Amino acid sequence: MKKIFYVFVLGAVVMGCQKENVSEVSDAGNSINEQVVEATITEPVTYLADTDFDSWTSIASIEDRFEACNIPESEARSMTDEALMKSVINYPLNYLIFAYNNPEDAVRKVIENSNVHKELVRRAGSADAILDAFASTTVSDMESMRTKDYCNVTYSDEIFLDYFVNPEFIPALESKEASVTLQSIADKKIEARLANEEVYSLRSISPLISVASDKVVKAVAEKQPMRAAAYTRKTSKTPFGKDIVVYSANSDFSSSERKSIDNTYKRSYPSATFVSSATKKYNCHSYAWFWDSSYNPFWIDAYENGSLQLSKFWTNALFESCSSATGAKRAYYSTGDHSAIVRPDGKFISKWGQAPVMIHDKNYCPYSTSGIQYFKVRSSSMYVNNYHLDGPSPIIVNTSQYYYYEHDWPDHFLTDHTVEVEDMQSTPGKFSLETFGSGCYLTCGQTGAYRVFVRSYYEGQEVAFNSQYIISIGADWR
């Protein structure tokens, strides 16, 4: 496929306006359709969030928020590089950098939906304006708001810029001169954050590492060798014992970072209810499908090696598909890479990426609801091979024996168990059963075979069972 990009050449200043030559260039570098565009707009975009914050935060869907922030392509084409960059810094949706499971996906989503960002990243001559602005931005106080000079920015702004100002997204930064300048800026930002460990966590420098100098990267590794890797890959279990890949975070936000992110989301979604603080330890998928607790230790990606591993939670598993939110317990935003718990009152509760856990309406969140899927607790109990009572057989008649529930999935999934005994003798009923702790005591009153059923319940509904035979023998059977 032929790729088209734009080259902007800085021209003369005529009557107070910056004039730029625009050329479409093919992969082969052949210039075509040359035209002149006057960059007459020197001021950044004034967003709805700047003029009427209440109206801004009343917008529910992420699609409508993107639309409210967008400007016509022709207007973006008429803006100077500096005006575009200030508009990027001031963009109301910079907070998305913490809401998406992959921060780079947030950057891609913004570029896809913002003509300001599209225009800036396709300008070949934009490197100076981008790097000058990036070098001057800082977070003077985690609780301070963005200042009019666009130098003191919010923590969300700064981290979004850390990811955005990268050759992966901005081709103008691929030149040797721009690369050297960007490396110097990244080095200084990393060194400043490492020197202020009470405010900045080690994780705050992760988007800068890819463009930093080898010297600084080595210094980071030497400073925190055990925490150099963001996550450790592990394997855990779903309900009913299916393997699932999980990730354990090796570090988390500082208390200052956490407070700043929490407040950003409280301000941005005032009609949602804050539940618990931002953390990198677990995400939406883990919270919805694995464990809805602040003690949850794992981050779970929806896909692993190209396969939708989340489906292990609803394919011959604890949950099954249903057609609507009525009666549903879980929701999967298939186009938004998000999962949520559906509450009985119709509200959703979900972890927003690295950001807080929030109670919200279905579409009052940072994710597209297109293609949303619903799941309920399975309607029929399922025989599960790796779930049973563990204990001796045969046993001596009239002797109490202890059996405990044996399964290989995390205990927090299914904690409500029952045991039933079927006496298979001609005169049944001669046994006693007493549940205790994580198992039961069984005493068989006559010799012969007994069938023992163990059943597990989730939210009061039986979802899994197994059975086994226990033989009762006389004391002198040998």
For residues 178 and 225, the model is more confident at: 178
For residues 422 and 358, the model is more confident at: 358
Domain that holds residue 360: 231-377
Listed residues 377, 402, 430: the one ending a domain? 377
Q: Would you say residue 49 has pLDDT above 70?
A: yes
**Mean per-residue pLDDT for 299-306?**
96
Q: How many domains does the chain have?
A: 3
What is the model's pLDDT at position 246? Answer: 97
Listed residues 333, 354, 377: the one ending a domain? 377
Separation between Cα atoms, residue 211 and residue 167, nearest integer Å: 9
Alpha carbon 15 to its chain's center: 49
The number of CA neighbours under 13 Å toward the Cβ of 422 is 8
What is the model's pLDDT at position 110? Answer: 98
What is the model's pLDDT at position 255? Answer: 94
**Mean per-residue pLDDT for 284-304?**
97
* Identity of the residue numbered 331: A
388 and 467 together in one domain:
yes
Locate the DSSP E strands across 277-427: 303-304, 307-308, 319-322, 330-333, 338-342, 348-351, 357-360, 372-377, 382-383, 388-390, 395-396, 401-406, 416-423
| 265 domain residue, yes or no | yes
Q: Which of 97, 108, 366, 49 is nearest to 257 (CA)?
A: 97
364 and 405 together in one domain:
no
372 and 387 together in one domain:
no
For residues 219 and 157, the model is more confident at: 157
Positive or negative, the CA dihedral 187, 192, 197, 200 is negative
Separation between Cα atoms, residue 428 and residue 415, nearest integer Å: 30
| 272 domain residue, yes or no | yes
Q: Would you say residue 25 has pLDDT above 70?
A: no
| 425 domain residue, yes or no | yes
Tell me if the bond preceding 225 is cis, omega within 30° of 0: no
CB atoms within 10 A of CB 67: 11
| 427 domain residue, yes or no | yes
What is the model's pLDDT at position 415? Answer: 66
Separation between Cα atoms, residue 55 and residue 215, nearest integer Å: 48
Min mean pLDDT across 234-238, 324-328, 421-425 is at 421-425
Q: Would you say residue 37 has pLDDT above 90?
A: no
Which tokens is 81 given? 């590089």
| 210 domain residue, yes or no | no
| 398 domain residue, yes or no | yes
What does the pLDDT look like over 96-108, one tens digit per residue? 999 999 999 999 9
| 198 domain residue, yes or no | no
Confidence of residue 340 (pLDDT cuts 50, 70, 90): very high
List, as one string, the DSSP characters of 417-445.
EEEEEEE-SSS---EEEEEETTEEEEEES
239 and 163 together in one domain:
no
Q: Would you say residue 2 has pLDDT above 70?
A: no
298 and 324 together in one domain:
yes
Positive or negative, the CA dihedral 472, 467, 454, 390 is positive
In this structure, the strands spanning 439-444 and 431-436 are antiparallel
353 and 404 together in one domain:
no
What is the model's pLDDT at position 162? Answer: 97
Percent of the chain with pLDDT over 90: 68
Q: Would you say residue 231 has pLDDT above 70?
A: yes
Locate the DSSP E strands across 216-337: 231-237, 243-249, 273-276, 303-304, 307-308, 319-322, 330-333
Alpha carbon 251 to its chain's center: 16
17 and 153 together in one domain:
yes
What is the model's pLDDT at position 225? Answer: 54
What is the model's pLDDT at position 180? Answer: 97
For the chain, how many residues are written?
Answer: 478
32 and 132 together in one domain:
yes
Separation between Cα atoms, residue 437 and residue 352, nearest integer Å: 36
**Mean per-residue pLDDT for 248-259?**
93
19 and 168 together in one domain:
yes
Q: Which of 151, 154, 359 is nearest to 260 (CA)?
A: 154
The number of CA neighbours under 13 Å toward the Cβ of 127 is 18
**Mean per-residue pLDDT for 3-29?**
34
Positive or negative, the CA dihedral 103, 70, 186, 149 is negative
Any idea what DSSP says for residue 384? -
Listed residues 377, 393, 409: the one ending a domain? 377
Mean pLDDT of the chain, nearest integer? 87
Min mean pLDDT across 32-46, 173-187, 302-316 is at 32-46
For residues 410 and 309, the model is more confident at: 309
Percent of the chain with pLDDT over 70: 87
CATH of the domain at 418: 2.60.40.1080
| Contact criterion met (CB below 8 Å) for 353 and 98 | yes
Q: Which of 41-55, 224-238, 424-438 has maximum average pLDDT?
A: 41-55
What is the model's pLDDT at position 416? Answer: 83
Separation between Cα atoms, residue 132 and residue 172, nearest integer Å: 14
**Mean per-residue pLDDT for 426-450?**
85
Confidence of residue 153 (pLDDT cuts 50, 70, 90): confident
Angle at 90 between CA 86 and CA 94, to 5 degrees: 125
24 and 165 together in one domain:
yes
Residues 426-446 as b/e (b if ≥16 CB within 10 A, e otherwise) read eeeebbeeeeeeebbebbbeb
| Contact criterion met (CB below 8 Å) for 284 and 351 | yes
154 and 303 together in one domain:
no
| 127 domain residue, yes or no | yes
**Secondary structure of residue 10 in the 3-state scheme:** strand
130 and 249 together in one domain:
no
Confidence of residue 388 (pLDDT cuts 50, 70, 90): confident
Q: Which of 193, 289, 206, 295 is nearest to 251 (CA)?
A: 206
Confidence of residue 229 (pLDDT cuts 50, 70, 90): low
Q: Would you say residue 438 has pLDDT above 50?
A: yes
